[in-house]
Amino acid sequence: MEKLVIKMKNSHYKSPVRMKNLVKYVAAQGKNKDREKLLYFKIRGTSSKINKAVKQMVCIQEMYGKDYERRMYHLIVSFPKDMHDKSVIIKCADEISDYIFKDYQVAYGIHMSKENWHIHFAINAVSYRTGKKWHQSKKEFQEFKDNLKDMIESICSE
Measured between alpha carbons, how far is 145 from 82 in angstroms, rounded to an integer? 21
Could you report the per-residue pLDDT of 135-154, keeping only the tens digit for each? 888 899 999 999 999 999 89
What pLDDT score was predicted for residue 2?
Answer: 66
Model confidence band, residue 123 (pLDDT cutoffs 50, 70, 90): very high
pTM for the model stands at 0.94
What pLDDT score was predicted for residue 22?
Answer: 95
- CATH code at 128? 3.30.930.30
Model confidence band, residue 91 (pLDDT cutoffs 50, 70, 90): very high
Measured between alpha carbons, how far is 83 from 45 in angstroms, rounded to an integer? 29
What pLDDT score was predicted for residue 1?
Answer: 56
Number of folded domains in the chain?
Answer: 1
- For 119, the domain range is 5-156
Could you report the per-residue pLDDT of 16-67, keeping only the tens digit for each? 999 999 999 999 997 777 788 899 999 999 999 999 999 999 999 999 999 9
Alpha helices in the chain (DSSP H): 16-26, 50-63, 86-95, 138-156
Cα 1 to Cα 49, 87, 112, distances in angstroms:
34, 17, 19
Mean per-residue pLDDT over the chain, rounded: 91
